[in-house]
Amino acid sequence: MIDIFWLIPLVPALSTLILAVFGEKLPKKYISFQACGAVFISFLISLYSFLGLLKVSPEEYPIVKNLFTWIHSGNFQANLSFQFDPLTAVMALVVTAVGFLIHVYSIGYMAEDRSYSRFFTLMNLFTFSMLVLVMASNLVLMFVGWEGVGFCSYMLIGFWFEKHSAANAGKKAFIVNRIGDAGFLIGMLFILVYVGSTEFSNINNAVAGGSLSHGLVTLIAILLFVGATGKSAQIPLYVWLPDAMEGPTPVSALIHAATMVTAGVYMVARMNIFYTTSETAGSVVAIIGAVTAVYAGTMALTQNDIKRVLAYSTISQIGYMFIGCGVGAYAAGIFHLYTHAFFKSLLFLAAGSVMHALSGELDMRKMGGLKKYLPYTYPTFLIGAIAIAGVPFLSGFFSKDAILTSAFAQGQYFVWILGILGAVLTSFYMFRLIFLTFHGKERIEPEVKKHIHESPPVMTVPLAVLAFFSVIAGYIGLPVVLGKNVNWFDRFLAPIMHKGHEAHLTIGTEWLLILISVIVALTGIFIAYFFYLKKPSVPHTLVRRFPFLYRLLYNKYYIDEAYDYLFVRPTLKGSEFVYDKFDINIIDGAVNGAASGTGFFGKVLSFLQTGFIKDYALVFLLGAVILLGLLIF
Amino acid sequence: MIPIYYFLILSAVLFVMGTVGFLIKKDLITQFMCVEVMLNAANVAFIAFARSASSLNGQIIVFFIITVAAAEAAVGLAIILLVYRQKKSIKTEDSSLMKG
């Protein structure tokens, strides 16, 4: 019953085609029905295949369906083939389930938009690309999906392209991603040269068999990770994600929170053999992830734009996933990816609902006291915030704790401390967001207040479903202290993850670590409560006391400016210089010179063309005489 | 029997006359007549060779040449007539559209 899994990406592909060709002429109702239906069918097939996968013994992983040979050139062969194994199953389920809910939500959110069909075409195309990414059985096809989601991301960030900032944000995302992709491509070429195949099974065998030197494995692992930092917005290539919030909110939820930005984590987990074999590469991943988790968390502290806070929070949470992958706990990293997909898309959609209520207002300084106006949005938002903050019994707690415990168990104490620090920041800025938006004094502008309203059911129902999953999703991966075999998620993924050296903690230590995470989460919430509800003057005092630090955080460490100064402007200046000197003088000069040279010779030769028959006849005669003379003598 | 080179000398003289006439005359009709003289010079040479080799081939070719010359005369005169209508002149220096 598993053999129909290759249909999963094809259903949204078909729907994309129909919408792309006929979309403008179809009624809105039909477009919504088809776009959501396609993703839902994909979800059903994923679920069906997943149930089938449970019956397959782990020795048979992965199940590969080869559709046809796509490229065959010399020794190189790439197939259009999909595979299904536990990792793919998790990703496909997350993409289709969350994707479906976000599609439904979009029906309400985008209802008034002029480009309704363009939006759903791109959303379906994105779903298709993302599914190709997670289901590809070789790196080349995976790269196709990788670039496909990048393209959709670009198109959807710049969806309202009349707005200058949106068009620019789209370009920024695309260009920054290209930098990462260059690393990915080089890594892929190394694999192609030294392994001779890009099929994951062959790569795994080659690395496990030790046919690649240790240095080469590290190099490839780092190069692939460069690609992951671009797509998953990690240091140093994270700058595009906050700007990507220019896109419609469902896009932010689907692409820039739940699925696409986690593609880097998926890729690292898929290529886990590299990061297990090379401890250096693993440490690099863990440290970059940990530093990003704290760094992005600090930037979220001072932002006033509700979506930007969530964007920095996403960067920070993906940092956690990379910590998991870096310390060898791939299952924990993917587990966090899976829970994060629910609560972060919930938070984004709820933020979208707040914007919807406030006629597009994003600035939290102009909100406050919204609790009583938004009876459905508020509780769901709160659940999302509690889940991400890591309060016990909600999904975020289990996944974050699994990652931090693994980091501690592997002896990466530095990473662990950063992780704990990031957790305080997370719960603080999330509850700052909650208190500023929903509690306290109303700071809503009177004009906006007149139109304030709760969103329609088509938007609130997906919120409720996501909130439900944000609560329960964690229970398939319970911590080991509750029993030996309670972590079903870990066991499910175990057959395809290559274990490094195992490290076990005593039960006491585990409980201690859990206790620390709980205290940390609650501390963050308490500080936020104290700062923004109890004594709202405290933040202002702090700003006055540490103006430099505040400005540094508020301006996001001036990284955008630094990149602008270091990379963007020199590139522009250099391009202008090359344009001025080389392009105009040499390239244009060569082309124009060739033209005018030909013209000149033509002029000279045209003197022979007198237009008088007699001259031609004379030349003809001379020619005949010469030829005759040559023949005779 | 008259030796063949008599005919050939006649043919050569006719051909050179035609050529020189074509080159120095400025009148299209005269030039056209010069071309006819050149053709007939070729005819004389063909007949001469045919006779000395007692073969009919040369004579047959001459018939062809006469036919071609007749067709050419028809076309050529028509062209000259049209040139005259356009330019009101049949001097060659007045028709130099192809000048570069």
Q: B4-87 in CATH: which number?
A: 1.10.287.3510
pLDDT at A447 > cutoff 90: no
Report how far apart, in Å, the C-alpha atoms of B53 and of each of B1, B6, B46, B47, B56 are.
13, 15, 10, 10, 9
Chain B closest-CA separation from residue A633 CA (Å)? 19
Distances, alpha carbon B61 to alpha carbons A112, A604, B51, in Å: 90, 43, 13
Chains A–B, number of C-beta pairs less than 8 Å apart: 30
Q: How far apart are CA A301 and CA A382, in angstroms?
A: 18
Q: Are A75 and A121 in contact (CB under 8 A)?
A: no
- The tokens for A74 are 């010399």
Q: Which residues from B are below 8 Å from A614, CB to CB?
A: 22-24, 92
CA distance A278 to A228: 17
What average pLDDT does range A54-60 have in this prediction?
84
Distance, in Å, from the CA atom of A318 to the CA atom of A400, rounded to the nearest integer, reads: 11
Q: What gap in Å lies between CA A112 and CA A91, rounded to an integer?
A: 32
What is the per-residue pLDDT across A116-126, written as a single tens digit (0 to 9) for each? 999 999 999 99
Q: Helices (H) and strands (E) in chain B — how many of each?
A: 3, 0
Q: What does the mean pLDDT of chain A come to?
A: 90
- CA separation, residue A85 to residues A143, A174, A276 (Å): 19, 30, 19
- Asked if the Cβ–Cβ distance from A611 to B19 is below 8 Å, we say no
Per-chain mean pLDDT for chain B: 90
- Taking the model in full, what pTM does it have? 0.81
Type of residue numbered A265: V
Closest residue, chain A, to B27 (C-alpha): A614
Q: Return the number of other C-beta atoms located less than 10 Å from residue A501's C-beta.
A: 8
**Residue A462's pLDDT is what?**
93
Q: Rounded to whole angstroms, how far apart are CA atoms B29 and B31? A: 5
**First-last CA distance in chain A:** 92
> For residue A547, is pLDDT > 90?
no
Instruction: Please give the average per-residue pLDDT across A418-423, as a whole number.
Output: 93
Residue A592 has pLDDT above 90, yes or no: yes
Residue A211 pLDDT: 83
Predicted confidence (pLDDT) at residue A508 exceeds the cutoff of 90: no
Q: Compute the average pLDDT of residues A624-633.
A: 92
User: Per-residue pLDDT averaged across A53-58, rounded?
Assistant: 86
Q: How confident is the model at residue A507 (pLDDT cuts 50, 70, 90)?
A: confident
Quick: pLDDT tens for A307-322: 999 999 999 999 999 9
Residue B87: is it exposed, middle or buried by C-beta count within 10 angstroms (0-12/13-18/19+)?
exposed
Reply yes or no on whether the pLDDT at A539 is more than 80.
yes
Q: Specify burial of residue B65 (Cβ count, 10 A radius: 0-12, 13-18, 19+).
A: middle
pLDDT at position A560 is: 87
- Read off the pLDDT band of A81 (50, 70, 90): very high
Determine the distance in angstroms separating the CA of B81 from the nearest CA of chain A, rounded to an integer: 17
- Chain A closest CA to B57's CA: distance in Å? 24
Closest partner residue to B99 among A609, A614, A621, by Cβ? A609
Q: Is A628 on the interface with B (CB under 8 A)?
A: no
Q: What is the pLDDT of residue A573?
A: 93
Task: Grade residue A265 by pLDDT with cuts at 50, 70 and 90.
Answer: very high
- For position A210, what pLDDT does the model report? 83
Quickly state the pLDDT bin for A1 (edges 50, 70, 90): low
Q: How high is the pLDDT of residue B100?
A: 65
Contact B98 A611 (CB under 8 A): yes
Window A:567-626, CB contacts with B under 8 Å: 605-614, 617-618, 621
**Which among A443, A285, A265 has a CA at the least distance from the CA of A358?**
A443
Q: How far separated are the first and last CA of chain B, in Å rounded? A: 54
Mean pLDDT within A209-226 = 91
Write the residue in A611, A617, A621 that is nearest to B96 by C-beta: A611
| In chain B, domain spans | 4-87
Instruction: Tell me whether residues A611 and B100 touch, CB distance under 8 A.
Output: yes
- Cβ–Cβ under 8 Å, residues A287 and A218: no
CB contact under 8 A, A611 and B97: yes
**Which of A611, A618, A621 lies closest to B99 in CB terms?**
A611
Residue A588's identity, in one-letter code, is D
For residue A328, the model assigns a pLDDT of: 87
